[in-house]
Structure 1
Amino acid sequence: MSAGESEPASALDELPGDLMMWVLIVSELLVFGAGLAAFLGVRVTDPAGFAAARLNLHPTLAGVNTVVLITSGFFAARALDLVKNNIMAPARWSLFFAIMLGSVFLAIKFYEYADVAGQGISTETHPFFTFYYLLTGFHALHVVAGMIILGLVIWKTELRNVEVGTAFWHMVDLVWVLLFPVIYLLA
């Protein structure tokens, strides 16, 4: 290679944000994927029991939560676009709206948890509910973590930070888009 030439960019150089955040995102997707695979594997042993257990959930609320998270993802993506154009105040507001929608998601999810628990249903009731509480609870923790990350990004609104924060937030969205049909709609 001559002195004036630079090395070609690798695929890793093209990733927005930070490589370690992508390692975390991929590892989290693998964990959720394993959980969903286990859910589906156990479901095969008792499809009627899983179908009957699912009737105790609130698919309409879960559908609303899907719209809420997708909308929050829109605001996160909008914030990234605004920061790329150096429009900081509206970017911060977009991140704030994403966080608020995360709060709405959690409020709806905790309402559902309270209702299901009020029916006397726990992780011990049926394997369906073991997976339901574990997968959706683990996801809810990721929503909380994402809200904290986006809050920190509002405080330090720089392109790299927004790329990292929104990448994590979109992973949270993606996981819910996978959980929703498998847990709430699969008959």
Structure 2
Amino acid sequence: METTSTSLPVAPASTPTPASGPRLAGDLAIWFFILAELLAFGVFFAAYAFTRANNIELFNAEQAALDRNAGALNTILLLTASYFVVRAVQAAELRASRAAANWLLGAILAGLGFIVVKLGEYAAAFAHDISLSSSPFHMFYLSLTFFHFMHVILGLVILVAMWNGARQGRYGPGDMNGLETGAAYWHMVDLVWLILFPLVYVIH
């Protein structure tokens, strides 16, 4: 007696989903802007180094008169603000909008602290008749720090806009572009200061 076997249909092998590659955080345009700003600061830093090499004694003497404690405090404030921004992005990715807003508020307060300390430095400098024309070192000190100062102000405006968006629950998984774009700009401001502070205040 002949038996026939019926074979069960075999399910087709599932095609593995390709792993998503690295993703650029934020909008592409902000990275072009950041690169342009870093280039501008780089030109400033190179000009400072060149001029200092030809006026070492003058630069050392006037650099020693700067308030390094104020500069160090501002470094701590900016690093703290950047940490808070990172925590805000992490919170938003977890849909914790209220926590993200609170972290951004902390970053704003730290940034405002930077502004207050820097304005105190400028007031003390102007009280001692320091100006752009008083010496080559003072010209670089005021122009470099003020250029960065204006970037901090713009960064604070962006942080306030991000804080308002987080309060409204605007950010979350799949909708992080605005928050990441602002965060990238703020980290650029922090990075520039981490170069500017030792270059202008510390290194002899």
Q: TM-score w.r.t. structure 2 length? A: 0.85
Aligned counterpart, 2:198: 181
Aligned counterpart, 2:8: none
CA distance in 1, matches of 2:147, 2:21: 34
* 8 A contact 1:53–1:126 mirrored in 2: no
Q: Does residue 44 in structure 1 map to residue 61 in structure 2?
A: no
* 8 A contact 1:76–1:94 mirrored in 2: yes
CA RMSD of aligned residues (A): 1.8
Aligned counterpart, 1:16: 25
CA distance in 1, matches of 2:83, 2:19: 33
Q: 1 or 2, which has the higher helix percentage?
A: 1
> Which secondary structure does the structure 2 equivalent of 1:156 belong to?
helix
Query: What per-residue deviation string (whole Å, max 9, x for no partner) do you get for residues 18-37 of structure 1?
Result: 00011111111111111111
Offset at residue 9 of structure 1 (A) = 7.2
Shift >6 Å, 4+ stretches: 4-11
Q: Does residue 170 in structure 1 map to residue 187 in structure 2?
A: yes
The count of aligned residue pairs is 182
Pairing 1:24-35 to 2, within 5 Å after superposition: 24-35=33-44
CA distance in 1, matches of 2:196, 2:40: 13
Overall identity of the aligned pairs, in %: 35
- Of 144, 150, 159 in structure 1, the residue corresponding to residue 159 of structure 2 is 150
Offset at residue 5 of structure 1 (A) = 11
Offset at residue 186 of structure 1 (A) = 1.4
Aligned counterpart, 2:7: none
- Which residue type is aligned with residue 171 of structure 1? M
Q: Does residue 96 in structure 1 map to residue 113 in structure 2?
A: no
Pairing 1:61-140 to 2, within 5 Å after superposition: 61-140=70-149
Select the structure of larger CA radius of gyration.
Answer: 2
For structure 2, the 5+ residue unaligned runs are: 1-14
CA distance in 2, matches of 1:179, 1:103: 19
- Which residue type is aligned with residue 43 of structure 1? R
Query: What per-residue deviation string (whole Å, max 9, x for no partner) do you get for residues 114-155 of structure 1?
Result: 101111111111111111111100101010000001111122
CA distance in 2, matches of 1:8, 1:29: 33
CA distance in 1, matches of 2:105, 2:182: 12
Q: TM-score w.r.t. structure 1 length? A: 0.92
- Which residue type is aligned with residue 51 of structure 1? N
